[in-house]
Structure 1
Amino acid sequence: MSVGKRCVVAVLAAALALVGNTPVSAQSPYPTPMAGGVEDDGTDCQVTLPGSFPANSRLPDPFTKIDGQRITTTSDWRCRRAEIKRLAERTIYGEKPAKPSGVTGTVSSTGITVNVSHNGRSASFSASVQLPSGGSGPFPSVIVLGGFGADTATIRAAGAAVISYDPLAVGREGTPRNNKQGAFYSIYGNTSGTGLLAAWSWGASRIIDVIEQSGGSVLRADGVGVTGCSRYGKGAFAVGAFDQRIALTMPIESGSAGAPILRGVATESGAQPLSSAYGEQPWLGDAFSAYTGNPAGLPVDMHEVIGMIAPRGLFIMENPHIDWLGARSGAVSALGGAEIYRALGETANISYWSDVQDGTHCATRSEWRTPLQQSIQRFLLNSGSAPGTIRISSRKPANLAEWRTWTTPNLGGGTPTDPPPDGDCTATVTTNQWPGGFVSTVRVTAGSAALRGWTVSLTLPAGATIVNHWNANRGASSGAVQFTNTPNNGTVPAGGSTEFGYQGTGTGTGVTPACAAT
């Protein structure tokens, strides 16, 4: 049994509780930034897929089109995203069909009904709704896959509704690939090659269709977020990638077939093998069987699926304590996806956090509370600023440079090779001292401008010697010591932070670090 079967999404109960008591006013709707007005903005893009693809052990270049030409402007990304979508459907997920010919339903203060008809077939499913405790709406909402763990009272006090969506009603687990069940397969056939993740995404899109048709009297269609943990984290990731009306995507501990790069999962010790993720449940499309032992043959990988979400809000939460979840590959994926956000000029809209202490699967994480609060307020309530935080655990460090051969263009104009301006930075140190030794954690925080590199200088007490360090490059082992960023943590958004650490013998307290941008 996978870790995914043992989970409930307990994290949302406390994490979303911190959104606060934002007052709701019927006269003040919340326009959501970055969410698209349509499910798929690239349907008019001409995409022709070749019959075969060259093998590539590194991550594919998200900025190079199928015809070999590199994109150069922000407007080019629209049809490049359409190419990535088609590639992901063909090799990973199976096709997510466009909106069916008939979608009707109702939205009330307690539930949503969805009725679908297409090509003479029909299916129905429903979702429950919990509205905020105050105000008269219309309200933004969070779709919770599986309906687990949401603190509905706190979410309502914050001004957002909770939509509890049972994806198993749309694509059932425990079925063979040649006899898939659920509302999706009632419409498109039980032998469809589309996997459950794409089917679950299709179902979430139909919920948004009904919200749109309702006229916005109860819920707003332009303020929808999605979340889930473990297998439902895989689903939440797919929902956000395949529907541009999702303003904020929040996958939690999604593991293989979720956010982590597939090429990395295949090499990461202890991570769920691709063959296992494919065989455990029909989550992935049938065509993925050709790649379970050959991920280098994939023309696309999950960093580009992250790019399908860009520049909308994304907060990836991962657990580095359980090898099965492939957090190292998740960190690489986030770093690769963040390069797409950077090229589009929206680095603050992506956050990744695996630096957590509690190793329990789908547990509440105190470390996630503030960035999760900021993400919800920014993308669903249009208040405050996005966190733009990349926090990678030293347990599962990642180095994007090992996985890519491509560079990141500046799609917004100017000279692509021009780096962003240097910013200022500060450094603080926390030391855990014991007789004869210590461990120190240093946090580097950017000032009003982003960093593209940093150096931290400090002087150790007499007799102290560093014997180990992580998430930084180090010069000396004693006395005056300098630490510099690694390739994966040199870029820090304005106001954002990153951490590194070191272990030593002797006394490590009383250190005052100094930070300089490089």
Structure 2
Amino acid sequence: MYRNIISFLLVVGYGLYAHSQQLPLVYDQEHTGSHYAPPEMPGYDQLSECKDLPDPLAWSNGEGKVTHFNEWAQRRSEIAAEIQHYGIGMKPAVDKENVKARMNGDTLIVDVTIHGETLTLRSTIHYPQTGKAPYALMIGTSMLSLPKPLFEKRPIATMTFHEAQVNDYSQWRPHHDRGEHPFDRLYPELKDNGAYSEWAWGLSRLIDGLQLLGEEQTKIDMRHIGVTGCSYAGKMALFCGAFDERIALTIAQEPGGGGAAAWRISHQLDSVECLEKTDYHWFLETMRTTFSGDSVYHMPYDHHELCAMICPRALLILGNPDYKWLADRSAVVSAKAARKVWQQFGIEDRMGYSIVGGHPHCMLPERQYPEVEAFIDKFLLGKKTDTNNIQITVFDQ
């Protein structure tokens, strides 16, 4: 009898393991749930107060929750719709017939034409000196903030998404006002959008270009594309990874408030980037007027669900508790809540976080290299590295 029980448990365990290995690591579509109707979007007066983080697996109508992976695409599409409606504005879908792409040497050029207006994106691909094409690709949002040695010794190409080609808002240089950016020529009806919806749209158009040209022209492996950025660009990487399922790995480095940190939790902390204190060029102005102060508890989603949108693909969140403004205590709570979605489907090895201090902002210390290398090797290069227990933090909760 004992032997039979052990045999049964081994069979069940192997079955769960095999199932988890079969879940997709990436998709060939930007949004696999685009065919689902969005949930109802109640006004503030109809939104219930919820001081705890909302359950990311619970349906928007409050009737039950996701229990099987084949339901996740629909739930994920609900979260995406809520984040766009209440938080960042619409990321419009684009038909491939509206996108043209070409290579000029090693530079990818993508033309997107909407309503007779054309926006052009350019980015140079830097190919590795090792390995053979097609290569995995890491896209840096605004710049590649992770140390170059992490990529130079690996067969991984790199490129930069120059976000000013879509929306040139910057905290440090002259910029156009809301509604006057290149994106707004194509979509004047979306002039109230926050920058993060527009930047996510732009990076997806670069991926369209790679997809249209194919690996023969680009030398890029479409199944192994990553995105990374730091600080405001860490938020950008997180939104880009969440809203495009062709991205296999997202590494959000020190994204701060409005990134991995949950607005609800940050509201309870001092001296952090909370909902009232973030930069509203990035978000809908209506998010501030609707959800400031204790009204944040009426928000129907929070940023643990932004993180969860990346499931079943891979996500690594990097933090730096030395900079209180980054709200990493909130980010840890958010990351733990998001990770439960990966756990629900038996793939928690695809989500991790490393919150390590003792270094300047956006300068990854060498002691954090192992976590980053493990995720890069596993999810961009297909190696069998151990990412099961990358949950590193100085915070108890």
TM over 0.5: yes
TM-score range, shorter chain: 0.7 to 0.9
**Alpha-carbon deviation of 1:135?**
4.0
Partners of 1:132 and 1:161 within 8 A in 2: yes
2:385 is aligned with 1:385: yes
Equivalent pairs counted in the alignment come to 362
TM-score normalized with structure 2 length: 0.86
In terms of mean alpha carbon deviation, does 150-159 or 383-392 score higher? 150-159
Partners of 2:144 and 2:228 within 8 A in 1: no
**Deviation per residue, 1:135-162 (Å, 9 max, x gap):** 4411110000112446557624411100
Instruction: Look up the equivalent residue of 2:354 and give its one-letter code.
Output: W
Give the whole-Å Cα distance in 1 for the aligned partners of 2:150 and 2:263: 36
Could you tell me which residue of structure 2 aligns to residue 200 of structure 1?
A: 199
Could you tell me which residue of structure 1 aligns to residue 13 of structure 2?
A: none
1:386–1:110 CA distance, 2 compared to 1 (3 A) = farther
1:189–1:386 CA distance, 2 compared to 1 (3 A) = farther
1:165–1:50 CA distance, 2 compared to 1 (3 A) = closer
2:176 is aligned with 1:181: no
More strand by share: 1
Instruction: Describe how 1:27-66 pairs up with structure 2 within 5 A.
Output: 34-52=25-43, 53-66=47-60
Equivalent position to 1:163, from 159, 164, 167: 159
Q: Tell me the percent identity.
A: 26
**Deviation per residue, 1:106-149 (Å, 9 max, x gap):** 24662211100012221112112100113441111000011244
Partners of 1:109 and 1:129 within 8 A in 2: no
2:274 is aligned with 1:278: no
More helix by share: 2
Give the whole-Å Cα distance in 2 for the aligned partners of 1:108 and 1:153: 27
Instruction: Look up the equivalent residue of 1:75 and give its one-letter code.
Output: N
**Alpha-carbon deviation of 1:236?**
0.3
**Alpha-carbon deviation of 1:193?**
2.3
1:180–1:191 CA distance, 2 compared to 1 (3 A) = farther
Instruction: Look up the equivalent residue of 1:223 and give its one-letter code.
Output: H
Could you tell me which residue of structure 1 aligns to residue 12 of structure 2?
A: none
Give the whole-Å Cα distance in 2 for the aligned partners of 1:389 and 1:166: 34
Give the whole-Å Cα distance in 2 for the aligned partners of 1:176 and 1:56: 37
Could you tell me which residue of structure 2 aligns to residue 129 of structure 1?
A: 125
Larger radius of gyration: 1
TM-score normalized with structure 1 length: 0.67
Partners of 1:351 and 1:389 within 8 A in 2: yes
Could you tell me which residue of structure 2 aligns to residue 288 of structure 1?
A: 287
Give the whole-Å Cα distance in 1 for the aligned partners of 2:86 and 2:279: 12
Partners of 1:94 and 1:286 within 8 A in 2: no
Give the whole-Å Cα distance in 2 for the aligned partners of 1:136 and 1:323: 43
**Alpha-carbon deviation of 1:189?**
2.1
1:180–1:287 CA distance, 2 compared to 1 (3 A) = farther
1:177–1:274 CA distance, 2 compared to 1 (3 A) = farther
**Deviation per residue, 1:36-55 (Å, 9 max, x gap):** 11000001112231423212
Partners of 1:265 and 1:329 within 8 A in 2: yes
Instruction: Describe how 1:444-463 pairs up with structure 2 within 5 A.
Output: none
**Deviation per residue, 1:410-446 (Å, 9 max, x gap):** xxxxxxxxxxxxxxxxxxxxxxxxxxxxxxxxxxxxx
Instruction: Describe how 1:2-151 pairs up with structure 2 within 5 A.
Output: 34-52=25-43, 53-70=47-64, 71-100=66-95, 101-107=97-103, 110-149=106-145
Give the whole-Å Cα distance in 1 for the aligned partners of 2:103 and 2:386: 30
Could you tell me which residue of structure 2 aligns to residue 264 of structure 1?
A: 265
Partners of 2:146 and 2:363 within 8 A in 1: no
**Alpha-carbon deviation of 1:178?**
4.0
- Unaligned 5+ segments in structure 1 are 1-31, 399-518
Helix, strand or coil for the counterpart of 1:143?
Answer: strand
Could you tell me which residue of structure 1 aligns to residue 301 of structure 2?
A: 300
Helix, strand or coil for the counterpart of 1:270?
Answer: coil
Instruction: Look up the equivalent residue of 2:32 and give its one-letter code.
Output: D
Could you tell me which residue of structure 1 aligns to residue 5 of structure 2?
A: none
Could you tell me which residue of structure 2 aligns to residue 333 of structure 1?
A: 334
Helix, strand or coil for the counterpart of 2:200?
Answer: helix
Partners of 2:39 and 2:61 within 8 A in 1: no
Could you tell me which residue of structure 1 aligns to residue 9 of structure 2?
A: none
Partners of 1:90 and 1:287 within 8 A in 2: no
Instruction: Look up the equivalent residue of 1:58 and give its one-letter code.
Output: D
1:359–1:158 CA distance, 2 compared to 1 (3 A) = closer
Could you tell me which residue of structure 2 aligns to residue 312 of structure 1?
A: 313
Give the whole-Å Cα distance in 1 for the aligned partners of 2:380 and 2:360: 28
Partners of 1:107 and 1:211 within 8 A in 2: no
